[in-house]
Amino acid sequence: MKLTIIGTGYVGLISGACFADIGHKVICVDVDQGKIERLRSGEVPIYEPGLEEIIKKNVKAKRLTFSSDVSGAIKSGAAIMICVGTPSRPDGSVDLKYIYQVAKEIGQNIDGHKIIVQKSTVPPGTAKEIENIIRSEIKKRETKINFDIVSNPEFLKEGNAVSDFKKPDRIVVGVESADSEDVMKRLYAPFMRTGYRVIFMDVPSAELAKYAANAMLATRISFMNMIAQVAEKVGADIDNIRAGIGSDSRIGKHFLFAGLGYGGSCFPKDVKGMIDMGKKLGCDVGILEEVEKTNKLQRKRFLKKITNYFGEDLSGLTFAVWGLAFKPETDDLREAPSIDIIKWLLEKGARVRVFDPQAMENFKKEISDNTNIFYAKDEYEVVKRSDAILVLTEWMQFRDPDWKEVYALMSGCEPAVFDGRNLYDPKTLEESGFKYFCFGK
């Protein structure tokens, strides 16, 4: 099946590569000519385990190509998949200008029956607006062309996206005709043969399903961070609480970890979008407002732990940071706690040493040149002569370091570890000579 992917960001690039890997002929198109040239030369602009290998394999097999010719790509694909960004506006509403621009270009260039697949995360009703824009552009051309609109939101987890695509929990498809359902069944035929769940529904339900999923997961995270506050006050252990409630089959064990809260490209944007959507519809979205509030406050609570120990003036102190990305196995810094925390440390007069296995170059773009930031080559070099370690991303290589070596490299008679991801056993750290601070213990 010939498939056109419009947008080579995170969703578009992974979707395009993985669709090609299951046998479809895919063209990924983007208006950024420089990005297309880099992709053609074999440079993958994002880090995602397994993605580079899949791209190289399918480019070599001529199932995957890259182009900046939007018009030609629209005409060549039997299905056109919209995978452009939907960022948040300052007020939390979803900015759909890129979606609508693509819809306009489709209407101007479509030359026969197509299936238009909306894959970006958008509020319910967006598919209908896309349809109206396309029809308006077709009408201007004084012609008649039929097309179908489909909603097919992605549920890919950064750091595990390739595996998620190949072994999905579910594939949600919103359709409005039997013809479009048949096309989508053909597109996802390999998954249907292997027993994965392809769930067909109406288009608005599919649009809302993505928001509902991310809002639910974000709520679980903020809920556990709220429980962690109570646990600290009453002398309880959040890990014991997590084990106690996670064993309940109605609750499950996933997304029950206390820590710095959620970040990334999806949860913050989609929670804000859901709040804005609900308010405009006259719905009570107080639960989600509290979810967002708790998430923002969690970073402040982490910083409070630092000033409670060192005082408000951090001049002369050096902090080693383990992890910059918002989560492991990605180089993504969108809404990452590291940015706010490191800026705050610098404002307080501290020196900062940082290390992340993948996100260092992206971090340099986020933070202007500062002589008080040192970029280390590994997790041991970064702790040299530091007064405290801040654990901000739970990369595997941070989970079981040689604490004797770490202690020897640090300065001071009682260095501190501020664990923003609750990775370590307090007793182990304290026996190794560290002052240890985390959430919910």
Whether 251 and 115 map to the same domain: the answer is no
- Which residues have a catalytic role annotated? 266
pLDDT band at 193 (very low <50, low <70, confident <90, very high): confident
Q: What is the average pLDDT value for the chain, to the nearest integer?
A: 95
Angle formed at CA 322 by CA 228 and CA 410, multiple of 5 degrees: 105
Q: Is pLDDT of 132 > 80?
A: yes
Q: Are strands 351-355 and 373-375 parallel, antiparallel or unpaired?
A: parallel
Residues of the chain with pLDDT > 70: what percent?
A: 100
Whether 312 and 424 map to the same domain: the answer is yes
Tens of pLDDT, residue by residue over 277-326, are 999 999 999 999 999 999 999 999 999 999 999 999 999 999 999 999 99
Whether 428 and 349 map to the same domain: the answer is yes
Q: What is the pLDDT of residue 141?
A: 93
Q: What is the pLDDT of residue 195?
A: 75
Q: What is the pLDDT of residue 194?
A: 74
Whether 137 and 258 map to the same domain: the answer is no
Q: What is the pLDDT of residue 386?
A: 96
CATH number of the domain at 191, please. 3.40.50.720
Q: Is pLDDT of 412 > 90?
A: no
Q: Does 413 map to a domain?
A: yes
Whether 136 and 188 map to the same domain: the answer is yes
Whether 185 and 260 map to the same domain: the answer is no
Residue identified by tokens 């594939």 is 171
Q: What is the CA radius of gyration of the chain?
A: 24
pLDDT band at 265 (very low <50, low <70, confident <90, very high): confident
Rounded CA-CA distance 18/161 in Å is 10
Whether 191 and 245 map to the same domain: the answer is no
Q: What is the pLDDT of residue 368?
A: 79
Per DSSP, 88 falls in state: B
Residues of the chain with pLDDT > 90: what percent?
A: 94
Rounded CA-CA distance 172/200 in Å is 6
Q: Is pLDDT of 218 > 80?
A: yes
Whether 239 and 197 map to the same domain: the answer is no
Q: Which of 147, 176, 201 is the last residue of a domain?
A: 201
Of 73, 75, 82, the closest CA to residue 102 belongs to: 82
Tens of pLDDT, residue by residue over 323-366, are 999 999 999 999 999 999 999 999 999 999 999 999 999 999 98
DSSP H/E element including 315: none
Q: Does 227 map to a domain?
A: no
> Reduced to 3 states, what is the DSSP secondary structure of residue 287?
helix
The pTM of this model reads 0.92
Question: What contacts 300, CB < 8 A, 6 or more positions away?
Answer: none
Q: Does 54 map to a domain?
A: yes
For every residue of 146-193, DSSP letters joined together read -EEEEE----PPTTSHHHHHHS-S-EEEE-SSHHHHHHHHHHTHHHHH
Q: What is the pLDDT of residue 340?
A: 95
pLDDT band at 250 (very low <50, low <70, confident <90, very high): very high
Quote the number of domains for the chain. 2
Tens of pLDDT, residue by residue over 53-83, are 999 999 999 999 999 999 999 999 899 999 9
Q: Which of 201, 226, 252 is the last residue of a domain?
A: 201
Whether 153 and 264 map to the same domain: the answer is no
Q: Does 31 map to a domain?
A: yes
Start-to-end C-alpha separation, the chain: 54
Whether 239 and 191 map to the same domain: the answer is no
pLDDT band at 402 (very low <50, low <70, confident <90, very high): very high
For 299, other C-beta atoms within 10 Å of its C-beta total: 18
Q: Does 414 map to a domain?
A: yes
Whether 283 and 191 map to the same domain: the answer is no
Q: Does 216 map to a domain?
A: no
Q: What is the phi/psi pair of residue 320, to 5°?
A: -95, 130
Query: For residue 180, what are the domain limits?
Result: 2-201
Q: Does 304 map to a domain?
A: yes
Cβ contact 66:27 at 8 Å: yes
Rounded CA-CA distance 90/36 in Å is 30
377, amino acid identity: K
Q: Does 219 map to a domain?
A: no
Whether 275 and 422 map to the same domain: the answer is yes
